[in-house]
Amino acid sequence: MKKRPLLLLTLLALLLTGAVNVEAQKRTSKTRRNTTEKAAAKVFNPATDPPFLNANQAWVDSVFQTLSPEERIAQLIMIPVYSNKDQAHIDSISALVRNYKVGGLIFFQGGPVRQAKMTNRYQQESKVPLMISIDAEWGLAMRLDSTTRFPYQMALGGIEDEELIYKMGAEIARQCRRLGVHVNFAPVVDVNNNANNPVIGFRSFGENKYNVTRKALAYMRGMQDEKVLANAKHFPGHGDTDVDSHVGLPVINFSKIRLDSVELYPFRELMKNGLGSLMVAHMNIPVLDNTPNLASTLSKPIVSDLLKKEMGYKGLVFTDALNMQGVAKFYEPGIVDVKALLAGNDMLLNTMDVKTTIQEVKKAIANGEITQEEVDARCRKVLAAKQWLGLDNWQPIETKNLIADLNNPYADYLNQQLVEASLTLLRNKQNILPLQRLDTLKVAALAIGTDTETDFQRGLARYTKVDTFFLTPNTSIAELMALKERLQDYNLVIAGVHKLNLKAGSSNFGITAEMNLFLKDLIRTKPTLVSVFGNVYSLAMFEDLGKADGLIAAYQESPITQDVAAQMIFGGVGAKGKLPVTISNSFRIDDGLMTQGGLRFAYTKPEAVGLKTADFAGIDSLVAQAMEQKAAPGAQVLVAKDGKVIFQKAYGFHTYDNTVPVQKTDLYDLASVTKISTSLAAFMKLKGEGRFDVDRTLGEYLPMMQGSNKENLKYRDILTHQARLQAWIPFWKETVKKNGKFKWRTFKADSSKRFPIKVAQNLYIHRKYAEKIYNEIKDSPLNEKPGYVYSDLSFILAPLVVQNITGEDFETYLKENIYKPIGATSLTFNPYKYYHPRDIVPTEHDSLFRKQLLHTTVHDEGAAMLGGVSGHAGLFGNANDVAKLMQLYLNDGTFAGETYIGGNTVSEFSKCQFCEEGNYRALGFDRPAKPGAQNSNAAPGAPVESFGHSGFTGTYTWIDPVNNLVYVFLSNRVHPTRENNLLGKLNTRTNVLQVVYDAMEKSKKVQQ
């Protein structure tokens, strides 16, 4: 009985001791873990070591402990996946993930949404989160549709500002993260010093190891700062080969000294700066390993001895794809993988037989070729990288808005900046670029290599009139001769070279003898500018290219590259790039001429002026609202700030039958915007020359008005609409008899000597009828009461005044002295003479006077009866060319370095003349109405200094010198009837401009 208490005490003591021991073990374990973590922190150097060396080891340990030996091997395997293949492929990958627990996937061709859905499925099926990788050297577009395509590395090699490349790396990383991608196999750090390299070439930053290193470091840092693992490739340097390792095994026969000083230099420098991973190339390098037909990927002396031991690299080492012929032609799947692992690689890329690979690695362990501890160490390294990449907290990819997020405005603008900085001007004889004096040029835009209109040709046409021509590779001799003859009439040819083969060694990049000879002859016989959109090495294939008046190396063919090249030619942007390689004796490394931008409009994004594209979304909504409510069937909207077009869109259709979409180049009837674009333009130009004075009278400038009640009307009063002139006169009503038919001396259905002037389709007016109109204005009474009354009458007389002063026809004077010099060539009267009807937007279906749909002829009745030429209405044009004229006004009469309106005349004309009397108009220009007025003619945010005009057909333009802003809105709200005034009720035109002011205000608040 006495023994029982003793036993109980003994048991209790043991329990207590056990509890203490357990707690002591916990404390010891925690102390040991803390000590380990502190030791790791001391060892880890963030300036030089791969960032994942600082991973949370607790997570690595916990995951590692759950893995079988086979699963640890599988963590080193990365299999290829395609999001553009069928369900059988998708399911086969799923089986590999579930059955073998592979460590990662490399995605190839497909689309982002499909890839995201596949990734989500595989991550959910995987025991350990998968490391997702992709080849995205120039962004996701290298593999995926519907994504942003950044410039090739060769183009980036020509950029002086590495900060742009850092930003690109960061943006590509953000896009990768958004798509669930963790490793981007970029940058290529091969020093491309072999022009015949068929596999690297345009993928390299160039031939100078220092330049390659600077660019690669910027790209790497950008990605890794955004938590995507960079991957330098192709170790130990693939730049001086003439065999594509996808199809064969290149042999590198130079010395180790050469390798060490050139090829290894970029790798070494990136390693010093925290390179996360690299890729080993498939090359045979006898100086490092003389085993016949053995690729560097499978070489222990190269991977283990050189890379890991001698160079001390601690990051993840990937093989190049193990299904490439550089290795696959010598070893079967599975065998090649284990050889790569034995060589020292950490990750096996494109393993084609997972089961056999795991079996062969197990055999190698059993045979003592590699230890389990070595496999485990590499597995832990992979897990550490996964933890640093955030895979310890994996979240499914959200597919909503994925496409929009991957094509965000910031990326678009950054892409444009990169292209601008890379384009390289190699010839500029007599400083022909940027082009001057557009009115002296007759320009042919020749597309070589294609028979369809190019983005380059469209870009050129934004600046002036250009005629397009095409020269295809299979053009016959007869066609070549005919083309040469057709080009004789032009004094400038701008040639774009297109559709070139990208890789070296492919039949001279696709340049035919005919193309070569034609371009050579063209350069010899007339001023020629050439822009080559393709691999920069292709320049060496053209004869006498160096003799061109202007030559641009554009590196690649993409819409943005062509767009920016066109802008460079006309001075929208400047030339900045330098050649990163030597092409020939004529084109050597670091060649590149500089020009200044800002001469004419640049076409860019709101981000270029510190605004955000997202803040302009309200424009789309407002125009959509107007079209939905049938306020107008379509529109053009353009916003320019600081000399840059930051918003330009075409909306809707020509008419409500929705058959002809509105294009940016289509012409609209400008209605009363004609007043400030014709009459006022001429008056201001003449004022600047001292030939017109607003304080002189109508009678002084127009003798026919002498002796009338209008003789002494001062132009200051006339242009501010307070000269007591009647608002308008319905001239057409005088031509109609009571029965509704025209009087016989007024109109005829066919043209003739007596009725030569076209008013509308099948309607011609008597040749002397204009005199009747002018006399009717002369004899019209003045308003009894003084004060503001908006009037067309003086502007109808303006062409006579201008002709009397200059001795020139009104239209000719405007075109030759203003429109052509600034490149506003779509501004024209009677567009049917120069344009196809499909390029001209119809206006009203006139049921009273002309009894037809008004298409290609002016809407205003008075202007129509004057043959389409008047100073109050009749001008047609597109938003782009209206904006050029308004920019001339914003610049107070200068454009592209030339003065067209002198003496600060625009500033004088745009000021309020009689505000104290309650008339808020400027000279000819409209201005903001009285402060606080509802439904103002200006946006609420428009400053008092701003000015512009609106037009009856649904047009509007506004100029803001305070914010350096030009705005153009064109529509045909009078279709199908002028009775439709919804556009005015909705205030669409001014509300759209207010969106711009709101965006600027938002930007100011962010900056504050």
What is d(CA 398, CA 390) in angstroms, rounded to the nearest whole number? 16
Q: Where are the alpha helices (DSSP H) in 283-353?
A: 300, 325-328, 335-343
Q: Are strands 668-669 and 875-877 parallel, antiparallel or unpaired?
A: antiparallel
C-alpha to C-alpha distance for 523 and 550, rounded to whole angstroms = 10
Give the whole-angstrom CA distance, residue 309 versus residue 313: 7
In terms of C-beta distances under 8 Å and separation of at least 24 residues, what long-range contacts does 483-488 make, across chains too?
483/518, 484/518, 484/521, 484/522, 487/444, 487/446, 487/522, 487/526
Structure tokens, 26: 């916990």
What SS3 state is found at 640? strand
Question: C-alpha angle with apex 930: 929 to 932, nearest 5 degrees?
Answer: 110
Q: Which of 592, 591, 581 is nearest to 207 (CA)?
A: 581
How far is Cα 319 from Cα 328, in angstroms, rounded to an integer? Answer: 13
Classify residue 868 as left (phi > 0), alpha (psi -120 to 50) or beta: left
Beta pairing, strands 316-319 & 277-280: parallel
CB 883 within 8 A of CB 638: yes
Q: Are 327 and 298 in contact (CB under 8 A)?
A: yes
3-state SS assignment for residue 787: coil
Cβ-in-10-Å burial (0-12, 13-18, 19+) of 706 comes to: middle
Q: Are 764 and 747 in contact (CB under 8 A)?
A: yes
Kind plus residue range of the DSSP H or E element containing 679: none
Structure tokens that stand for 556 in this block: 């690649």
- For 139, phi then psi, to 5°, come to 95, 175
Integer Rg of the chain from CA: 37
How remote is the C-alpha of 356 from its chain's centroid? 47
Collapsing DSSP to helix, strand or coil, 347 comes out as strand
Beta strands in 191-315 (DSSP E): 231-235, 277-280
Residue written as tokens 């004022």? 687
Residues assigned a catalytic role: 246, 320
Instruction: Give the length of the chain.
Output: 1008
Q: Is 978 helix (H, G, I), strand (E, B) or coil?
A: coil
CA-angle at 586, arms to 584 and 592, nearest 5°: 105
Query: Rounded CA gap, 415 and 426, in Å?
Result: 22
- Per-residue DSSP letter, 144: B
The two tokens of residue 295 are 């690729």
The b-or-e profile of 326-343 (16+ CB within 10 A means b, else e) is bbbebbebbbbbbbbbbb
430 contacts: CB under 8 Å, gap ≥ 6: 549
Give the strands of the sheet with 131-134, arranged side by side: 183-184, 131-134, 104-107, 77-81, 348-349
CA 815 to chain centre: 32
Kindly report whether the peptide bond that precedes residue 236 is cis, defined as omega within 30 degrees of 0. Answer: yes
Q: How many angstroms separate the CA atoms of 935 and 846, rounded?
A: 28
Contact assessment for residue 370 and residue 343, using Cβ atoms and an 8 Å cutoff: no
